[in-house]
Amino acid sequence: MKFSMNSRLGSVPPYVFVHLGKLKMKALSAGKDVIDLGQGSPDLATPDYVIKAATDAMADPKTHGYPIANGLLEYREAIAAWYKKRFGAEFDPNTEVLPLIGSKEGLGHLLQALLEPGDGVLCPSPCYPAHINGVILPGGKPLLMPLKEENGFLPDLDAISEADLQAAKVMIINYPNNPTGATLPDTSLLVKALGLAKKYGFLVIYDNAYSEITFDGYKAPSIFEIEGAIEYAIEFHSTSKSYSMAGWRLGFCVGNPVAVEALAKLKGFIDYGVPSFLQRGAIAALEGPDDYVIKASKTYGERRDVLADALKEIGWEVSRPKAAMYIWTRLPEPARSLKSLEFSERLIEEQGVVISPGSGFGPEGEGYMRFSLIQSPERLREAAKRIGIFLSSLKAAV
């Protein structure tokens, strides 16, 4: 046999949520009542007006052909109008806006479109798994920027070595942050990142997929609130979290036209983008009223408090992030001898509760676990109760 997985693909671990999904299916087929707090797949319903716009469009045979390359102009215009309204930033829908099959697809393909083997990418750790693995798959070299708890899970840009700055072709930044839930206190980190980008000539990829899911009055910025950012930045966004449309696979990016063109060209060889009728749904989402995201944020914020309170009752103190839909926390005392993956696997097997192991988010994630706030308060309390039983069994075993 002459064919096998290439060495780069062979070198990365399986996508963490694929692994958890398999374990969940095994537990379900063994008859377990599974509470899934693993992948951040919103459980809320997509807005009715979005579903109506998509189904009406689907009834029109004109939407049944191949989608237009680069997406519907109306969708690109709706994206540009949304950015203007939300962040005050202006983009040319023809050259600076690109619809995507979810932001994950765009991130992965942009890295493929930009990197030569050996090119450096300044990448946070922990991070969304598609960030670091998206660098490795096309032969890039991740130059890790540790996100330390004592720094509020922000990278220390002053600590990056001159050699890494010289070697970097791209820097990835993501706030509100997945997996930590950390937020930017202001835009100073972005200003500094853009200053470095200008000095060293690299592109800043700003992953802003969680900007609309915020709590306690926090409002997340865009990198394009900073004057001149388009020279060195591209920003990724998604309808998955804001409008509970994860399964629709609808994301988009805006920004530097050279980066947008490279991504669009690569995608031209690989996909036809999102079906046109689904793009019609995304237009309705972006043009719709703000109430949906306000209500969704309120729901996730309440769940954050329910889960944090319930975990406190079982002796697991966690912090309360101001955004995104995750609680990121160190393994509790009785479980500190376990690797995060082992904790996760045993918890699914013994208690039917799925939470993500920190190691799935890069080397600095080991020792942490991530909870997704994608279940009702009742199920979150039940999950915490079962975790309490699991922790007691660990204590009893020592």
Residues that bind ligand MLT (CB under 6 A): 17, 39-40, 104, 128, 178
* Contact of 339 with 314, CB cutoff 8 Å: no
CB-wise, 128 or 232, nearer to ligand MLT? Answer: 128
> String of b and e for 329-367 (b: at least 16 CB within 10 Å)?
bbbbebbeebebbebbbebbeebbbbbbbbbbbbebbbb
Supply the minimum distance, in Å, between the C-beta of residue 82 and ligand MLT: 20
Nearest-approach distance from CB 138 to ligand MLT, in angstroms: 19
Name the residue with tokens 């540790």. 146
Nearer Cβ to ligand MLT (123/196) = 123
Q: How far is the CB of 65 from ligand MLT (least distance, A)?
A: 29
Q: CB-side exposure of 347: number of CA atoms within 13 Å? A: 30
Q: Write down the least CB distance from residue 119 to ligand MLT, Å.
A: 24
Toward ligand MLT, which CB reaches closer, 107 or 223?
A: 107
Nearest partner of 148 among 132, 164, 163, 159, judged by Cα: 159
- Distance CA(102)–CA(251), nearest Å, equals 4
**Helix and strand counts by DSSP (H, E) for the chain:** 13, 11
Q: How far is the CB of 327 from ligand MLT (least distance, A)?
A: 13
Q: Toward ligand MLT, which CB reaches closer, 194 or 355?
A: 355
- CB of 134 or CB of 334, closer to ligand MLT: 134
Query: Residue with CB nearest ligand MLT?
Result: 40
Q: Which CB, 119 or 207, lies closer to ligand MLT? A: 207
User: Which is closer to ligand MLT, CB of 39 or CB of 112?
Assistant: 39
Helix (H, G, I), strand (E, B) or coil at 283: helix
**Residues in a beta bridge with 121:** 142, 170
Rounded to a whole number of angstroms, the minimum distance from the CB of residue 328 to ligand MLT is 11
Bridge partner list, 100: 251
Q: Alpha-carbon distance 356 to 41, whole Å?
A: 13
131 or 322: CB nearest ligand MLT: 131
Contacts of 302 by beta carbon, 8 Å cutoff, 6+ apart: 377
Rounded to an integer, what distance in angstroms lies between the CA atom of residue 386 and that of residue 127?
A: 28
- Give the Cα separation of 263 and 129 in Å (integer): 20
Q: Shortest approach of ligand MLT to residue 172 CB, angstroms?
A: 14
Min CB(78)–ligand MLT separation in Å: 23
